[in-house]
Structure 1
């Protein structure tokens, strides 16, 4: 469930926003004290911040600048200030969107959904590991090749992740035993070969032939360059 912080000093507007967001399935956190807004938001680490501009102690512009400098959440400015220069200024500070009050609630929810989707996609892109012609999500073992994707079985995913994390170094069989089974004792080497065969077949099905190289007497590694 996405977490949204509401930075709004008008009580009635704040309660309306909280009610709307809660009914829409979001986890909502209102800021009630405005002396140190950024620290409060940082402690919550939300997915999105709804930020007013006219606030006590510090303006929403300054708060937006600090949030973006710290890389905290997406920022949707929601304010009664409808001048173009204010919108341009907020966007220049890094705000992800700008809406003026009063605002149609369906429009607001649509903008929130769009921003959360964008943030999620950016996070996925940030986490992906780059291979030769493919990307790998280290958390789900999803391999991305062009516009296609496939979730690798756990053992195949662990092998590919281990090779990527150690690229271009050769990874020994013992290291792979640990990655797969947590030990290198009493492991049948055939079990490792079976998983390698399956991984190579999967990669071949996605046009990733010969990405994994066997280094005799040493182990395995991803090829530095593949002729296509």
Structure 2
């Protein structure tokens, strides 16, 4: 079951969103204080965040910026601020979507569902996937080996997750590119090569050598 955190200071809207999400099969996390929100995200590991901009003491822009320092979890701004500048600012600092209040419940649910499907591959919705001692922490976009860890970019996370999900199988470069395009991430052949090289470098920094193997003329395999 997906966990969605609602960051909203209006009790009425908070309860309305909670009821809507619970009724549609989501587990809801509702913090009442917002100044310690980044720490709460790290401990509760929600799959998606609904974030208002206008909050007491600290605004949604600042919270989004702080969360993006350690997590790539999907963030949808749900706010009464509806100017083009607000939407541009929200996306620029790391938001994945922008919904203005009053929102249409069906549209909001559709956007949440679409974003979750793009973010978490269908092959494995678990928070951690493993192969040969390598642990990939999906929600925090981090790979760990022998008590050492390193953060991954969103592209690196998607590539490594896709390879591990197909472990033992040679995955063609075109399949990986198509998979990332489905996630609305821009990847061409050269970008893929750069990302795989960086992935290998990060893994080698953890002491993992030859984890991603190149099968000449065929693709990659783990």
Alpha carbons of structure 1 residues 74 and 226: separation in structure 2 relative to 1, 3 Å? closer
Unaligned stretches of 5+ in structure 2?
123-137, 139-154, 177-207
Partners of 2:64 and 2:32 in 1: CA distance = 17
Indicate yes or no: 2:153 matched with 1:126: no
Alpha carbons of structure 1 residues 72 and 46: separation in structure 2 relative to 1, 3 Å? farther
Alpha carbons of structure 1 residues 109 and 223: separation in structure 2 relative to 1, 3 Å? closer
TM-score, normalised on structure 1?
A: 0.59
Which position in structure 2 is the counterpart of 1:137?
164
1:125 CA displacement: 6.6
Partners of 2:217 and 2:166 in 1: CA distance = 26
Indicate yes or no: 2:33 matched with 1:33: yes
Partners of 1:143 and 1:39 in 2: CA distance = 39
Unaligned stretches of 5+ in structure 1?
149-164, 169-221
- Greater RCO (Cα-Cα under 8 Å, separation 6 or more): 2
Partners of 1:14 and 1:223 in 2: CA distance = 49
TM-score, normalised on structure 2?
A: 0.60
Which position in structure 2 is the counterpart of 1:167?
210
Partners of 2:160 and 2:51 in 1: CA distance = 33
1:59 CA displacement: 0.2
What is the count of residue pairs matched by the alignment? 154
Indicate yes or no: 2:71 matched with 1:71: yes
Alpha carbons of structure 1 residues 138 and 106: separation in structure 2 relative to 1, 3 Å? closer
1:95 CA displacement: 0.3
Task: Say if 1:6 and 1:28, in contact at 8 Å, map to a contact too.
Answer: yes
Pairs within 5 Å for 1:1-228: 1-121=1-121, 126=157, 128-129=159-160, 136-137=163-164, 144-145=171-172, 146-147=174-175, 167=210, 225=216
Structure 2 counterpart SS, 1:144: coil
Alpha carbons of structure 1 residues 100 and 144: separation in structure 2 relative to 1, 3 Å? same
Partners of 1:64 and 1:129 in 2: CA distance = 25
Larger-Rg structure: 1
Partners of 1:93 and 1:223 in 2: CA distance = 35
Task: Say if 2:170 and 2:215, in contact at 8 Å, map to a contact too.
Answer: no
